[in-house]
Structure 1
Amino acid sequence: MHTDLSAARTAVHAGRQSALALLAEAQAAAEQPAARHVFIRTFGEQAQAAARAADLAAAAGAPGLPLAGLAISVKDLFDVAGHPTTAGSVVLADAPPAARDATAVARLRQAGAALVGHTNMTEFAFSGVGWNPHYGTPVNPSDTSVERIPGGSTSGGAVSVALGAAWAALGSDTGGSIRIPAALQGLVGFKNTACLTPLDGCVPLSTTLDTACAITKSVRDAVLLHEILAARSVRLQARPLSGWRLAVARTTMLDGMDDTVADAFAQALQRLRDQGAQIKEIALAELAELADIQATGGFAAAESWAWHRARLQASEDRYDPRVAQRIRRGAAMGAADYIDLIQARRAWIARVEQRLAGFDAVLSPTVPVVAPTLASIAEDDAEFFRVNALLLRNPSVVNMLDGCALSLPCHRPGQLPVGLMVWAGHLQDDTVLSVSLEIEAALAATKGD
């Protein structure tokens, strides 16, 4: 089996591997018991047509498309022409088929993707846990001894990649919805600067914070998917680890780590230092201000309430109560509260960017805990909301910063997955991708030590 999408597409382009055969393997992976609840609907005929076209191009010696007829899953938040978009909810179960692709989907299709299906997700993307009472919750495949949460809200997308049912997953990230499931499942999740990818044809959660982006198997795949989704060329900077100025933020980001995450994060930092990385711990006290800034509910509450208020009035009994509860927080926010939030965020971003001016990127645990068990949050609302807040805490910092971040695995073999988050401010995407490639290579070189 190829290690990642980049290796698979090289094989397809060279005619050494059939895209149709690889698609058949992906579809078989989607039908295994471990993939239960991963897909809400599949696009079998469309996927086969894309794979067949890739094989014909290779046979004719024609230049191959960037995604080479390979399986890509789509979060049930993005319009795919000819299929309904239901956002993981029964509230939209009667939605008509989309007349056209969302721009992000269209760009994947134009790049030769075999779009294999809409993946399950947290209802309306409003949780980092991945729980879905309507369509079932996809099970994290990283632990076969006990059922663990997948992370959300791009839950099914991450599991599709982890199980081999897709090479990459289109998803969204509003407070960590790409990076959380990537971290909990040992995958790569890149949240680009929000303005770089169009969101038309996507059911909104927060129009201020939503980002269209992808989960992949490697950092080089993250570069490829970002170039396609953002329709831009990444300018990679070839520098050794010693050439980057890296910080570790102590405030908030390191609180509440469980033993596995604390050990994996400390070991990863040491392995990077052993490879020449210059890493400095900083306080970054501004992170402690976020709780007060968002005390009235934040952008997600206000902006989701604006979109859902009529639907809640008509169909609240069909919502996941945990999602409805979070949306309803926005009802208490007035226009002045919202304007205050915008202004407070703008001032906070300026202070944080000034504090980080001497660094290329910041390193943090993506989330402070390994994936909790499904049983621990299934019936206990208090525990669900505690876990949800803990999972969202670190990655949501980057969304509020209007920045970019990549989560990549940093655990040792035999450990439950742990994510290392590499992050920076607005439009520093190429820097984050460049240093992440170096970090990935350095951690891989020392993984067996």
Structure 2
Amino acid sequence: MTQKLNSLSVAQLSVMIQSGAVDPVEVAEATFDAIAAHADPAVFISLLRDRAMSEAGAASRRIRDGRSLGLLDGIPVAWKDLFDITGLATTAGSKVLAHTAPALDDADVVSHLKAAGMVAIGRVNMSEFAFSGLGINPHYGTPKNPRSTDVPRIPGGSSSGSGVAVAAGLVPVSIGTDTGGSVRIPAAFNGIVGYKATRGRYSMRGVFPLAQSLDALGPLCRTVQDAVWIDAAMRGLSAPSIGRGTLQGLTIVIPQNVVFDDVQSGVSDAFEAATARLAKAGVKIVRFAIPAFDEILDLTAKHGALVTAEAYALHQQRLAGPEAADMDPRVVTRTRLGAKITLVDYLKIITSRTRLIGEVAGLVDAGALIAFPTVAHVAPPMEPLKTDDELFVKTNMRTLRNTLLGNFLDWCGVSIPCGMGEAGMPVGFLLSALPARDEQLLSAALCAEAVIRGE
């Protein structure tokens, strides 16, 4: 029964809990048993057994008494180590924050999911300060990608533990953050669904930032249906309002520049096979270049990265003091690049960003979605990336390239598994929509998911 429970989606588990086939306390106990039995200790940074059993017990009593809070009552959830949890220091995957004052309150989204009846299991690992797309963490260890069958492979970051916890069957959902791809990349590498909402869709109170102009949140889970349910709860709604769309009349734009550069053949094949299935199902596929993509990369090369500028402003005092010696040297090096970004550079990036968002909105029809591979390659082997700094930087940039475009343009996006690439590793199909069109995106993704997966 434990293995069965841990392999279920949120929706499947909800049916069992609400029908009385399984008790929330039994689910919580099975979850902790699965975590204890899992061979990789680097997935979770901290567990919340006392809180979880209390919340599961409360859910059990409500459901027995006919007072269920709804679809998510009794469902386990894990949290990236950026969200405030009452009584715990928020460490952001870093040693230097381990002794900071415990949070006095839950982050708003933590409170919202608690109000929906969800059971907080613990906080999961991540790239230190969320500043890498690979998921390697020298302080708490690096979670191993559970989809690998040859050598240990990276989980993707920065929401590394979130992706692995779901893919390994430890929890049905984990909540991550996404500043340049940190939800969608681990979703793609681990073969699960990852939804990045439009920035500002959820409250950010109690969430440790990286770059506030780019930071967004979203769930990593097993299905788009799960993401829709979690999205509603994260906004404080008692039930989702997003309906299932239709593929007939849907237009998907496939950009012809940047996103397919240096793509692995297995990734390209899996993506194009999914595209062909969508076309056969009635989706209109159009292909053209989006000039803004090239300009975003040019802006970064000329003026620096927006995320780096804002991360440096956030960590400037820490980098100048003794704490820097206890940080990941790669995070220190990358963040210190922000010192070279002048105020003039920053303002040019911000001004250009506003213009480019408008230009793309004029180029892409408001009712259309945009699609391309979430990442141009599958999850690479872990060990070489731990020791080779040059390889790390090159791989990190390549890993983040496709997803960061959506963050810069304020898009929402959902990564859906679409097949296997090199070494039998999962490939992600990234569906995106223009800013604040999350309902349109999720509605279309609900009906497109099975086609994209090839089911």
Normalised TM-score (structure 1): 0.96
Q: 420, 443, 446: which is aligned to 2:452? A: 443
Question: How does 1:138-153 map onto structure 2 within 5 Å?
Answer: 138-153=143-158
Is 1:434–2:451 an aligned residue pair?
no
Code of the residue aligned with 1:299 in structure 2: it is: L
Task: Report how far residue 297 of structure 1 moved.
Answer: 2.3
Deviations 1:148-188 (A, max 9, x none): 00000000111111112211111100000000000000111
Alpha-carbon offset, residue 416 of structure 1: 1.3
Aligned-partner Cα distance in 2 for 1:134–1:270 = 44
Letter in 1 for 2:269: D
Query: Which ranges of structure 1 fall in alignment gaps of 5 or more residues?
Result: none
Q: CA deviation at 1:64?
A: 3.4
- For the 8 Å contact 1:241–1:277, the answer to whether it is kept is yes
Cross-structure match for 1:311: 318
Paired residues of 1:246 and 1:359 also in contact (CA < 8 A): no
Distance 1:210 1:358, change over 3 A: closer
Measure, in 2, the Cα distance between the counterparts of 1:198 and 1:76: 17
Pair 1:234–1:83, CA change in 2 (3 A): same
RMSD (Å) for aligned C-alpha atoms: 1.6
- The 8 Å contact of residues 266 and 420 in structure 2, kept in 1 or not, is answered as no
Q: Which residue, out of 210, 213, 224, partners 2:218? A: 213
2:346 paired residue among 330, 338, 356: 338
1:177 paired with 2:182, answer: yes
Q: Distance in 2 between matches of 1:51 and 1:349?
A: 44
Q: Partners in 2 of 1:385 and 1:326 — Cα distance?
A: 9
Report the 3-state secondary structure (helix = DSSP H, G, I; strand = E; otherwise coil) of the residue aligned with 2:22.
Answer: coil
CA distance in 2: counterparts of 1:97 and 1:234, whole angstroms = 33
User: Given the alignment of the two structures, is residue 422 of structure 1 paired with residue 422 of structure 2, yes or no?
Assistant: no
**1:333-375 deviations in Å (ceiling 9; x for gaps):** 2222211111010011111111112652011100010000001
The structure 2 residue matched to 1:245, chosen from 241, 247, 251, is 251
| Deviation of 1:62 (Å) | 1.9
Residues 144, 34 of structure 1: alpha-carbon distance in 2 compared, 3 angstrom cutoff:
farther
CA distance in 2, matches of 1:358, 1:182: 26
SS in structure 1 of the partner of residue 120 of structure 2: strand
Matches within 5 A, 1:9-158: 9-158=14-163
Identify which of 274, 283, 296 aligns with 1:277. 283
**Cα pair distance change 1:200/1:239, threshold 3 Å:** closer
Worse overlay, 255-264 or 166-175: 255-264
Distance (Å, rounded) in 2 between the aligned partners of 1:189 and 1:161: 11
| Separation of aligned partners in 2, 1:311 and 1:103 | 26
Residue type at the aligned position of 2:178: D
Contact 2:43 2:143 in 1 (8 A): yes
Following TM superposition, by how much is the alpha carbon of 1:237 offset from its aligned partner in structure 2, in angstroms? 4.9
- 8 A Cα contact 2:180 2:214, kept in partner: yes
Amino acid aligned to 1:377: L
Query: Could you tell me the TM-score, scaled by structure 2's length?
Result: 0.95
Describe how 1:213-232 pairs up with structure 2 within 5 A.
213-231=218-236
State the alpha-carbon separation in 2 of the partners of residues 384 and 301 from structure 1. 17
Question: Counterpart of 1:135 in structure 2: which amino acid?
Answer: Y
Cα distance in 1 between the residues matched to 2:245 and 2:72: 28
Tell me the distance in 2 between the aligned counterparts of 1:99 and 1:115: 16
Aligned partners of 1:335, 1:7: CA distance in 2, in Å? Answer: 51
Instruction: Tell me what 1:4 maps to.
Output: 9
2:402 to 389, 394, 413: 394
> What secondary structure does 2:195 align onto?
strand
SS at match of 2:431: strand
Compute the displacement of 1:234 (Å).
Answer: 5.4
- How far is the alpha carbon of 1:238 from its aligned partner? 4.1
Partner SS for 1:242: coil
Counterparts of 1:177 and 1:168 in 2: how far apart (Å)?
15
SS at match of 2:39: helix
Cα contact 1:244–1:360 (8 A) shared by 2: yes
Distance in 1 (CA, whole Å) between partners of 2:387 and 2:401 is 22
Question: For residues 273 and 353 of structure 1, what CA distance do their matches in structure 2 show?
Answer: 24
**Deviates further, 308-317 or 291-300:** 291-300
Question: What is the CA distance between 1:391 and its match in structure 2?
Answer: 1.0
- Residue 298 of structure 1 aligns with an amino acid whose one-letter code is A
Of 291, 298, 304, 1:297 maps to 304
Partner in structure 2 of residue 254 of structure 1: 260
1:219 deviates by 0.1
Structure 2 residues without counterparts, runs of 5 or longer? none
Secondary structure of the residue aligned to 2:419 is coil
CA distance in 2, matches of 1:32, 1:138: 15
Q: CA deviation at 1:285?
A: 2.2
Partners of 1:28 and 1:165 within 8 A in 2:
no
Give the aligned partner of residue 161 of structure 1: 166
| Count of matched residue positions in the alignment of Structure 1 and Structure 2 | 446
Q: Bigger CA drift: 336-345 or 181-190?
A: 336-345
Contact 1:258 1:368 in 2 (8 A): yes
One-letter amino acid matched to 1:260: G
- Counterpart secondary structure, 2:371: strand
Alpha-carbon distance in structure 1 between the residues aligned to 2:107 and 2:292: 36
Secondary structure class of the residue paired with 2:95? coil
Counterpart residue type for residue 204 of structure 1: P
Deviation, structure 1 residue 121: 0.3
Contact 2:267 2:427 in 1 (8 A): yes
- Of the candidates 353, 370, 375, which is equivalent to residue 362 of structure 1? 370
